[in-house]
Chain A
C-alpha cells in the first residue's frame, strides 16, 4: 500500500527561474515527513514535483530523478495520470468540487477511473469518509453540496476524496493553514491514522505541527530572493528540533531566522 520515494538531484524551474536546486531525499513507506522553511523556499514546488503537478503550470519543468519504488516517475513512457493516481494530493485551501454533493465529491476520483457500479461507489464513499473521520458528521446529508460544509470538514472531504482512489502516497500542501485549531487537530489525528496505510509528505509553516506529527523533517531555505531553494537539512524530527547540525536550521526553528 505504501511506497518509498527517492528524489535525487531534483531541480524545478518556472521558465528560466530555478525554484529548487538539486534536492535529494528518501522518504520511507508508512512514515510522515514534514517539509518546513520560510515562504518561497520551494517546499511546495518540491511537493508538487513529487506527483508531477508542477508541470501543470505553463513553462514549468524539472530536472533530476524521482523514483517511487525504483521506478522513475519522469520516464518518458510513464502515464502521468497513473502517477497522480498513485500519489494523491491535498491542497492548501479546501477545494471540493462546488457543483457536486458530498457523496459525489468523495467518489469523484473513482468515477474518473471508470468505476460505475453503485454498490462499489457506495462502499468506497463510506470507507473513505470514515477514514477521513467525517462519516458521522455527514452520513445523513450525503446529497448536500460539498461546499456547504465548514472549512475543516471540507478539508477532510478533500482528504476522503484523495484516499478513496487508494493511492500509495498522500501529499499535503499546508493542509491546515486555512483552518482553526480544532479542525487542525482533527486533521493531525487523521494523519496519524492514515500513516498505517500511506506514505505522507506534508508541507507546513507550523513548526509545532511538524514536531507533533512527523517522523522526519526536511528544512528548506533560500539565501536571498531570486535564488533557488535548497534542502538544508533532512533528519529525524526529534534530531532536527533538539539538536540540528546546521546553524541555519537552528536559527529557523528557534525563531532567529534572517
Chain B
C-alpha cells in the first residue's frame, strides 16, 4: 500500500531529470556529436594523474599534524628534563626516598617519597569507592532502568563530569569535611585498633576526605564509559544467555560483563589517570603533611600535583626545578598505569578480535 506513492514520486523525479538534462544540452547550443569532454566514466584515452591535487595537499597536512605531536612531546620532555636535572644535582638528599620538601633552602633537601605515596593512596581510595558504584550505575542505566529514566539520569551523571575541580575542592572542604570528620571519629572509636583508622586526631582534612572527593570526580568518567561499553554488548549474545535459562543478572554475568571487561578496565584507568593528576581539589581538602602513613582519617596527606599548586608560588629556581622533577615522577606513574592497562587489555585480545 505504501509503495505506490513512492513509486510515483520516483517516476516524476526521473522525468524531470531527463527533461532538465535535455534542456541544458539544447541551451548550450552544442550538438551531441561535437561534445568536447568525455563522459565521466571514461571513453577516450586515460587521463594523466594530477600531480598536485587536494589529495596530495591533505596528505601533507595530516602527516605534518601527526609529526607535530611527536615534536611537541619531545620538546616538552627536553624542557622538563633540562629544568629538573640542575635541581636534582643540587639536592643533598636522595630524591626517591626523602620525604620532606625544602628545595628553596641554601642546601636543598627534597624527595618524592611522601608525595608519591599520598598521590597513589588517595587515588586508590577514590577507585575503591567509585568503581563499584560506577559499575552498578552503569549496569542500571544500560540494562535495568526504563529508557525514559535512563536517558535523563545518564545526562545528570555526565553533568557531574562538567563540574570544575576547584568547585569540588571547595565543596569538599566546606561541606563534606564535617560529616567525614564525624564519621572518622566514629571509626576511630570503634575500629581504632586497625592502623588505618587509628591515631589521636585531629580528624577531617584527611586522605579519606580527599579520596572521597576524588571518588565523586572520577565517578562520571567510569560510569559513562562503562555504560557505553555495556550497551554495545551484542543483543544476540544476551539473547543466547537468556535462552539458556539465565536470569537477568546471570545474563549480565555471562554475556555483558565478560564482553565489557576490557572497556571497563580502560574506563577505570582513565578514572585513575584523572585521580592521579587531580590538583586543586586535593590541595584544598588534604591536610598537607610530608610523611608516609597509612592512616586514612587523621589530618594529613599530600599529593604531587597538590604540592606543585601549593608551593609553586614561593619557589626559587631550584624549587621550580624540584617541582618539575616531581611532575616527571607523576608522569612516570601515569605511564606505568596506562601500560599496565594496555597489557591487561591485550592479553585476551584474541577472544575479542575473533568475535568481530
Nearest chain-A residue to B262 (Cβ)? A99
Task: Flag if A112 contacts B241 (CB, 8 Å).
Answer: yes
Within 8 A of A (CB), among B229-250: 234, 236-237, 239-247, 250
Query: Contacts A100-B258, A113-B245, A162-B244: A145 and B237 contacting too (C-beta < 8 A)?
Result: no
Contact of B355 among A85, A88, A98 (CB under 8 A): A98
A82 to chain B: which residues have CB within 8 Å? 245
- Tell me the complex Cα distance, A100–B237, Å: 11
Within 8 A of B (CB), among A196-248: 224-226
B176 to chain A, nearest CB (A): 39
Tell me whether B352 is interfacial, beta carbon within 8 Å: yes
Tell me whether A36 is interfacial, beta carbon within 8 Å: no
- Tell me the complex Cα distance, A114–B74, Å: 56
Tell me whether B259 is interfacial, beta carbon within 8 Å: yes
Tell me whether A127 is interfacial, beta carbon within 8 Å: no
Tell me whether A4 is interfacial, beta carbon within 8 Å: no
B352 to chain A: which residues have CB within 8 Å? 98-99
B244 to chain A: which residues have CB within 8 Å? 84-85, 88, 108-109, 112, 161-162, 165
- Tell me the complex Cα distance, A118–B228, Å: 35
- Tell me the complex Cα distance, A87–B236, Å: 17
A113 to chain B: which residues have CB within 8 Å? 245
Task: Flag if B243 contacts A147 (CB, 8 Å).
Answer: no
A236 to chain B, nearest CB (A): 29
Query: Contacts A99-B351, A99-B352, A112-B245: A53 and B258 contacting too (C-beta < 8 A)?
Result: no
Task: Flag if B355 contacts A95 (CB, 8 Å).
Answer: no
Task: Flag if A85 contacts B245 (CB, 8 Å).
Answer: yes
Tell me whether B354 is interfacial, beta carbon within 8 Å: yes
Within 8 A of A (CB), among B252-310: 254-255, 258-259, 261
Nearest chain-B residue to A109 (Cβ)? B244
Binary interface encoding of chain A residues 177-205 relative to chain B, with 1 for a CB under 8 A from any of its CBs, else 0: 00000000000000000000000000000
Contact of A112 among B234, B239, B254, B348 (CB under 8 A): B254
A58 to chain B: which residues have CB within 8 Å? 147
Task: Flag if B250 contacts A112 (CB, 8 Å).
Answer: yes
- Tell me the complex Cα distance, A53–B250, Å: 16
- Tell me the complex Cα distance, A109–B243, Å: 9
Task: Flag if A89 contacts B243 (CB, 8 Å).
Answer: yes
Binary interface encoding of chain A residues 53-66 relative to chain B, with 1 for a CB under 8 A from any of its CBs, else 0: 10010100000000
- Tell me the complex Cα distance, A88–B348, Å: 30
Task: Flag if B1 contacts A84 (CB, 8 Å).
Answer: no
Within 8 A of B (CB), among A81-102: 81-82, 84-85, 88-89, 91, 93, 95-100
B34 to chain A, nearest CB (A): 50
- Tell me the complex Cα distance, A99–B348, Å: 8
Tell me whether B5 is interfacial, beta carbon within 8 Å: no
Task: Flag if B1 contacts A56 (CB, 8 Å).
Answer: no
- Tell me the complex Cα distance, A109–B255, Å: 12
Which has the most chain A C-beta neighbours within 10 Å: B1, B2, B237, B259?
Answer: B237
A-B contact pairs, 29 of them (CB 8 A): A53-B242, A56-B242, A81-B247, A84-B244, A85-B244, A85-B245, A88-B243, A88-B244, A91-B236, A95-B239, A97-B241, A97-B258, A98-B259, A98-B354, A98-B355, A99-B258, A99-B261, A100-B258, A108-B254, A112-B241, A112-B244, A112-B246, A145-B350, A147-B351, A148-B350, A158-B240, A165-B244, A165-B245, A224-B1
Which residues of A are in contact with B by a Cβ distance under 8 Å?
Answer: 51, 53, 56, 58, 81-82, 84-85, 88-89, 91, 93, 95-100, 108-109, 112-113, 145, 147-148, 158, 161-162, 165, 224-226
Given contacts A97-B241, A225-B1, A225-B2, 10 further A-B contacts (CB under 8 A): A53-B239, A91-B239, A97-B237, A98-B237, A98-B354, A99-B258, A99-B348, A108-B244, A109-B244, A162-B243
